């Protein structure tokens, strides 16, 4: 399986400014969140990246990508018809090939020398099928993520055959339909925000766009459920952590995680200890 292209969706109207925010990366260099995500995609060996953006955002995103601007192309989502619709707009770019897909409001920290996107891409190449990254997630976080049900692939510790996908299930739905043997009680395998997808996904998204007339929203999870029924589709429990910069304090949490994993770790720790000590001294007695 060749994975030469990546698609990053960044057209959500309520979160369009998030990828433009500046952080200090692990190497101590100031970068936009978008540039960090682009570097994540490039680590997987892709050659070209398509950004799906809202109308009018092309120039800001090109500038935010810095030195990588020449490797990007842009598609605008004229009508806000959902996440799946945005991804489907890149069908011409993916050219009937497997492709890497990342979302623009998550940053990733791998616990291995290999970055998270690279882990997913390499497993997809070796298994020659679609692979979505997942992470065991406590049930209180289910409202934020698509979630899978399935069974562990024999002889592996981190790979699962997907047989069901639900978008943001309730805890009761997850308990009834998405239990995966071997996970801790109250935990489910939720999407991580990194996928390698096959042309079947783009075909299914086009079918959904034809079926749902007008401005009806098109989501990705139902299409991934269809994928699981049509061909082999795996979930990889990635060795790393995702940071959703779109939730409250998400950007702060991501920055702290990057700082504590990077070149300035000792300095950041010292400042945190000093801050905590100051707050303790100032706390009412």
Q: What is the pLDDT of residue 285?
A: 64
Pair 6, 43: CB distance under 8 Å? no
Q: What is the pLDDT of residue 182?
A: 85
Q: Which pairing describes strands 233-237 and 5-10: parallel, antiparallel, or unpaired?
A: unpaired
Other C-beta atoms within 10 Å of 155: how many? 6
Helix (H, G, I), strand (E, B) or coil at 180: coil
Please tell me the predicted confidence (pLDDT) of residue 128: 97
Among 44-53, 119-128, 273-282, where is mean pLDDT lowest?
Answer: 273-282
Tell me the C-alpha distance between 138 and 147, whole Å. Answer: 11
Mean pLDDT of 1-20: 92
Six token digits for residue 8: 């990053």
What are 190-230's pLDDT values in tens digits?
Answer: 999 999 999 999 999 999 988 887 778 999 999 999 999 99
Nearest CA to 119 out of 146, 84, 159, 150 is that of 159
The CATH number of domain 5-282, selected from 2.60.40.740, 3.90.550.10, 3.40.630.10, 3.40.950.10: 3.90.550.10
SS3 at position 109: strand
Q: What is the pLDDT of residue 241?
A: 95
What integer best gives the mean pLDDT of the chain? 94
CB 90 within 8 A of CB 83: no
Helices and strands: H and E segment counts in the chain: 10, 13
Q: Please indicate, yes or no, whether the overall pTM of this predicted structure exceeds 0.75.
A: yes
Element (H, E) at 202: helix 199-211
pLDDT at 279: 81
DSSP-derived pairing of the beta strands 48-53 and 5-10? parallel
Give the DSSP per-residue string, 81-98: --HHHHHHTTHHHHTTS-
> What percent of the chain stands above pLDDT 70?
100
Query: What mean pLDDT is predicted for residues 117-122?
Result: 98
Tell me whether strands 106-110 and 48-53 are parallel, antiparallel or unpaired.
Answer: unpaired
Q: Tens digits of per-residue pLDDT, 264-285?
A: 999 999 999 998 888 888 777 6
Report the pLDDT value the prediction gives residue 116, as an integer from 0 to 100.
98
Count, residues in the chain: 285
Residue from 37, 77, 201 nearest 132 by CA: 201
pLDDT in tens, 54-102: 999 999 999 999 999 999 999 999 999 999 999 999 999 999 999 999 9
Tens digits of residue pLDDT in 141-187 = 999 899 999 999 999 999 999 999 999 999 999 999 998 988 888 99
The pLDDT value given to residue 216: 87
Q: What's the pLDDT at 14?
A: 80
């Amino acid at each position: 399986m060749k994975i030469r292209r990546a698609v990053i969706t960044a057209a959500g109207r309520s979160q369009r400014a998030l990828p433009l925010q500046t952080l200090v990366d692990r190497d101590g260099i100031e970068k936009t969140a978008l540039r960090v995500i682009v570097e994540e995609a490039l680590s997987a060996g892709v050659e070209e990246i398509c950004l799906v953006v809202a109308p009018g955002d092309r120039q800001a995103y090109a500038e935010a990508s810095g030195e990588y601007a020449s490797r990007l192309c842009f598609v605008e989502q004229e009508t806000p018809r959902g996440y799946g619709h945005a991804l489907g707009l890149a069908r011409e770019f993916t050219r009937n090939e497997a492709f890497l897909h990342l979302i623009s409001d998550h940053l990733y920290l791998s616990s291995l020398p290999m970055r998270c996107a690279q882990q997913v891409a390499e497993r997809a190449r070796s298994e020659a099928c679609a692979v979505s990254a997942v992470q065991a997630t406590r049930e209180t976080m289910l409202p934020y993520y698509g979630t899978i049900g399935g069974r562990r692939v024999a002889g592996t510790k981190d790979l699962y055959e997907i047989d069901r996908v639900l978008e943001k299930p309730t805890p009761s739905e997850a308990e009834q339909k998405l239990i995966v043997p071997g996970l801790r009680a109250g935990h489910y395998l939720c999407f991580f925000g990194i996928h390698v997808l096959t042309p079947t996904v783009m075909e299914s998204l086009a079918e959904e766009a034809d079926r749902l007339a007008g401005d009806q929203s098109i989501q990705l999870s139902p299409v991934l459920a269809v994928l699981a029924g049509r061909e082999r589709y795996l979930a990889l429990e990635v060795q790393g952590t995702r940071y959703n910069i779109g939730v409250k304090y998400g950007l702060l949490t991501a920055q702290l995680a990057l700082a504590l994993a990077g070149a300035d770790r000792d300095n950041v720790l010292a400042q945190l200890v000093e801050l905590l000590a100051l707050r303790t001294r100032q706390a009412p007695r």
